[in-house]
Structure 1
Amino acid sequence: MARSSKKKQPANNEEARAEKKKEVIEVEGIVKTALPNAMFEVELPNEHRVLAGISGRMRMNYIRILLGDRVLVELSPYDLTRGRITYRFR
C-alpha cells in the first residue's frame, strides 16, 4: 500500500488566487510621489509611507495613476514597506 506523496492542488486558478489572497493585507492610501519605473510612494491612513508598484492587470488595462489618487494597496505580511497597487478609486 503505497501512498501518494503529491500535495493536493487547488481545482482551479480561482481557488489558488483565493488562497494567496488570504496572505496579503489590503489598505487604502493616497499617492504622494511618483517615482521612476512606475513606482509610487503611497501614504496610508496611519501616516506610514510605502513604496508600491502597479499590478499587472492595471498595467494591461492602461490605468493611469496620478498624484493625489486614492488607491488600494496590497501589502505582504513579510515586508510592510513595499506593496502593489491593485485598484484606483474614482
Structure 2
Amino acid sequence: MIIEVMAGKSAAVHGLVHDATPFKFSEKDTAAEYFGKMLEAGGYNYYGTEKMYSGIQGCEMEAAIFFGVVHYQRLRHMVSDKWQV
C-alpha cells in the first residue's frame, strides 16, 4: 500500500496513469525508487513525506507525515442482504 500511495501521488502530480502490476519492477530498479524519482521531479520529497501544520496552533509539526492518494472500494457485504428463508 505504501507503493500505491507513492504511485497515486506521482500520478496526480504529473497527470499520468500508472500500472499497478506488482511484478513490473526488479530488485535493481524498485518501484519505490521509480516513484520517488517521479515525486522529486514534481517538486515533492523523494519518500513522499510532507510537513504538516497544526490546525489548532498553526505551527509546523516536527514529524514528516506520509500521505497520498489511494483507491478504496467499498464492498457491500451486509448480513441483511445475504439472509435466506
Q: Give me the TM-score of the superposition, normalised by structure 1.
A: 0.20
Bigger Rg over Cα: 2
| Structure with the larger strand share | 1
